[in-house]
Amino acid sequence: MRRQRRSRPGPTSVRPPDVADYQQPNTEPNPNPPPETTASPENAGAQVSSVRLPEDDPARQARQRGLDWARRIELGTVVVAAVVGLAGLWYSNVQTQQANEQMRQANQQARDDRTLAKEGQITDRYTAAVGNLGEDKIDVRLGGIYALQRIMKDSHRDQPTIANVLAAYIRTHADKPSEKGQDVSADVHAALAVLATRDTAYDDTFAPVLRSVWLPRVELGPTQVVRQSENGEERMLRIGGGARLGSVNLNGAHLAGAGLSNAYLVGADLRQADLRGADLRGADLRGAHLGDADLRGANLARAGVRGANFRGADLRDAKLEYNQLDSALTDATTKLPSGCAGSLGPVPPNCTAGGGPSSPGYG
């Protein structure tokens, strides 16, 4: 084996000592010290700017930034809570409205069901009542007539239909004189009374049509009943008003001796009607058509006849108020009681004092 030779380190280079290394430091005071600087505003600003303030402390700034974030988080939490609260209130309001709407619909449905049930009951009652009108027994027919009257009061919208049924019943059952001169049958009188005492506010376009009916001596004036007083004495009490037959068509009707006192007959068609001996005291005949009507012996005291047509009417022996026909329509064919057509002179024996145009209630 060959031996490796070890390399020897060469001699190190040594720097020769310098003269300055042997010089001693100068400790003597400097005879010419540098001038001291005075604290001028410019120097003060430079010194202040060179001094680090507490706000510029990085740690303080970090803490400040932490506080700012904490406040932001707190504020955000408050805003989110407020938004959630408002959303809750809105949702609660929507739920309440939906519940109220559902309740309203349920109530409406219940009302509709009750109305439908009531209408069904009224229909059944109406069908049964009309069926009774065709029965042979008069008692059954009377029951049907009064059942219709009850339905007419319970259901006002059905009044025109029921009134038409009753008018048709009267026309078909009083189309000829009764046998042996008898008075009007009880069922016809009941139907006429129901028709005459109805509430005309619910008539709509209905107007009774009773052409050529035979209703002699029928009583449709105010009724009288007997009432027991507290001291045991009986006295007559007048109840009810006159018949409400406005615009009724009684053309050619036979109403001799009929009781129509205080009846409402405004615009009624009474042409060629037989009204001999009829009681028309206080009746409202304004605008009625009585052309060619037979009014002989009729009592027209206090009757309102303004605008009524009496052309061709026979008023001989009728009881009139003095000058009562001054506001009515007459012509040469009108047969008047002697002396009642004048406006001057004494009151004739067959006339009652007081003018018709100024009668109470008719202006």
Other C-beta atoms within 10 Å of 341: how many?
Answer: 18
Other C-beta atoms within 10 Å of 153: how many?
Answer: 13
CB distance 228 to 248 below 8 Å: no
- pTM strictly above 0.85: no
Phi, psi for residue 108 in degrees, rounded to 5? -65, -40
Two tokens, residue 177: 């004189």
- pLDDT for 344 equals 36
Handedness of CA 350, 354, 358, 362 (dihedral sign): negative
Q: How far apart are CA 185 and CA 179, in angstroms?
A: 10
CB distance 263 to 284 below 8 Å: yes
Residues paired with 237 in a beta bridge: 225
- pLDDT for 176 equals 85
Which whole-number Å values give the CA distances from 90 to 79, 97, 126, 210, in the listed order? Answer: 16, 10, 53, 67
Bridge pairing between strands 351-352 and 320-321:
parallel
Other C-beta atoms within 10 Å of 185: how many?
Answer: 15
Query: What domains sit in the chain, N to C, each tagged with a CATH number?
Result: 120-200 (no CATH), 207-363 (2.160.20)
Other C-beta atoms within 10 Å of 167: how many?
Answer: 21
Closest CA to 294 of 265, 253, 243, 328: 253
Per-residue pLDDT of the chain (363 residues; tens, 9 = 90+): 455 555 555 555 555 555 455 455 555 555 565 555 554 555 544 444 455 555 566 777 666 766 677 788 888 888 888 999 899 899 989 999 999 999 998 898 888 888 888 888 999 999 999 999 999 999 999 999 999 999 999 999 999 999 999 999 999 999 888 776 667 889 999 999 999 989 989 998 898 999 999 988 888 766 443 333 444 444 333 334 578 888 999 999 999 999 999 999 999 999 999 999 999 999 999 999 999 999 999 999 999 999 999 999 999 999 987 678 888 999 999 998 875 544 334 445 555 544 333 333 333
- pLDDT for 52 equals 53
User: Three-state secondary structure along the chain?
Assistant: CCCCCCCCCCCCCCCCCCHHHHCCCCCCCCCCCCCCCCCCHHHHHHHHHHCCCCCCCHHHHHHHHHHHHHHHHHHHHHHHHHHHHHHHHHHHHHHHHHHHHHHHHHHHHHHHHHHHHHHHHHHHHHHHHHHHCCCCCHHHHHHHHHHHHHHHHHCHHHHHHHHHHHHHHHHHHCCCCCHHHCCCCHHHHHHHHHHHCCCHHHCCCCCCECCCCECCCCECCCEEEEEECCCCCEEEEEECCCCECCCCECCCCECCCCECCCCECCCCECCCCECCCCECCCCECCCCECCCCECCCCECCCCECCCCECCCCECCCCEEECCHHHHCECCCCCECCCCCCCCCCCCCCCEECCCHHHCCCCC
Burial category of 76 from C-beta neighbours within 10 Å (exposed 0-12, middle 13-18, buried 19 and up): exposed
